[in-house]
Amino acid sequence: MEQFLSLFFFIDKLPAWVLAAGMRWGIDMACLCALPNFFNLILHFIIGGIIVIMLMQYGIRKNFFLPLLLLGIMFSGVSKFIDWIQNMLTATGNTVFFSYNLDLLVEALQFIGIAIIFYYIFRSLFASKPSLTKPSNL
Amino acid sequence: MIPTPAPAPLLNVILHGAVFLFVLSTFVIALIVWIRRKRETMPAEESESWEIFVLGLFFYMVSEFSDLFTPSLRASLGMHNYFTEFALLVGLAFIFIAMRRRLLIVSEAEQGEQP
């Protein structure tokens, strides 16, 4: 089991100066704790931005496809933000930070977010052929 | 520093499992619908949207599978976190590319219908 874990957690194998740099600056090169979460958070901002631009371009449709998609990405984004905070506390602290309650909150928010996103994308994909699509299908 | 695996609270396991099963079932349904519709001569651009959506769901599902182990490990660090988050990043990016493509196709169709 230890060998299996060491595949995932190579933090102990890193030189001390790399660990020290990670903890000092929170740049997170030491344990890759929060860096991937940070990229995910940025992606959520980019997607949210694209949806806002599309909202301005196409306007709010009858069945609120874009606003609800934005709501979904906001839920997912908040969950990723909390996840990032958890991992950042590990990156900048002296020990691994993990809270079961925060983990529950992260998963619950993610569940709500993706449920909204998947439902509305599915609905859009299930709409009739593009040539026959009515405006209300958006 | 490496956390030793420990039994996680049932609620955490259930919620992580629920998210994984939800994404897994969405992936399977999307895959079946896409294959069945493709057989019924689905237009190429519509098929592409489905293809990207299914691919995105696959990456998202892989990420959630990896995330299943987070509560028992009581952390998501190093390669575990790297794998989980980047699979999710790729999956989410594909899902939203599919959504945007679909929206553009529908929008073009609408403009074509207008006199």
Q: Do B77 and A122 touch (CB under 8 A)?
A: no
Q: From the CA of B93, how many Å to the nearest CA of chain A?
A: 8
Q: Which of A11, A48, A61 is nearest to A33 (CA)?
A: A11
Q: Which of A85, A74, A99, A9 is nearest to B84 (CA)?
A: A9
Is the reported ipTM for this assembly greater than 0.90?
Answer: no
A residues 71-110 lying closer than 8 A (beta carbon) to B? 76, 83, 87, 90, 95-96, 98, 100, 103-104, 107-108, 110
A10 contact B CB<8A: yes
Residue B3, domain member (yes or no) = no
| pLDDT tens digits for range A119-138 | 888 887 776 554 444 444 44
Residue B92 sits in which domain range?
10-113
- Cβ contacts of A12 on chain B, cutoff 8 Å: 1-2
Q: Is A26 left (phi over 0), alpha (psi -120 to 50) or beta?
A: left
Residue B2, domain member (yes or no) = no
**Dist. CA B5–CA B68, nearest whole Å:** 13
**Dist. CA B96–CA B42, nearest whole Å:** 21
Q: What is the pLDDT of residue B64?
A: 95
Burial class (CB in 10 A: 0-12, 13-18, 19+), B97: middle
Question: Which residues, 6+ apart, have CB-to-CB distance to B26 below 8 Å?
Answer: A118, A122, B57
- Cβ contacts of A10 on chain B, cutoff 8 Å: 78-79
Q: Do A47 and B89 touch (CB under 8 A)?
A: no
Tens place of pLDDT per residue across chain B (115 aa): 556 777 889 999 999 999 999 999 999 999 998 898 888 777 887 888 889 999 999 999 999 999 998 998 888 887 788 889 999 999 999 999 998 888 887 777 777 766 5
Q: How wide is the angle at C-alpha B88 spanned by C-alphas B87 and B94, nearest 5°? A: 95
**Dist. CA A84–CA B1, nearest whole Å:** 19
Res. A103: pLDDT tops 80: yes
**Dist. CA B16–CA B18, nearest whole Å:** 5
| pLDDT tens digits for range A10-41 | 666 667 777 677 667 656 666 677 888 999 99
3-state secondary structure chain A: CHHHHHHHCCHHHCCHHHHHHHHHHCCCCCCCCCHHHHHHHHHHHHHHHHHHHHHHHHCCCCCCHHHHHHHHHHHHHHHHHHHHHHHHHHHHCCCCCCCHHHHHHHHHHHHHHHHHHHHHHHHHHHCCCHHHCCHHHC
Burial class (CB in 10 A: 0-12, 13-18, 19+), B36: exposed
A7 contact B CB<8A: yes
- B72 → chain A, closest CA residue: A100
Among the partner-chain residues A11, A50, A133, the one whose CB lies closest to the CB of B100 is A50
| pLDDT tens digits for range A49-63 | 999 998 888 777 666
For chain B, give the longest Cα–Cα distance: 68
- B97 → chain A, closest CA residue: A47
Number of structural domains, chain B?
1
Among the partner-chain residues B49, B74, B78, the one whose CB lies closest to the CB of A10 is B78
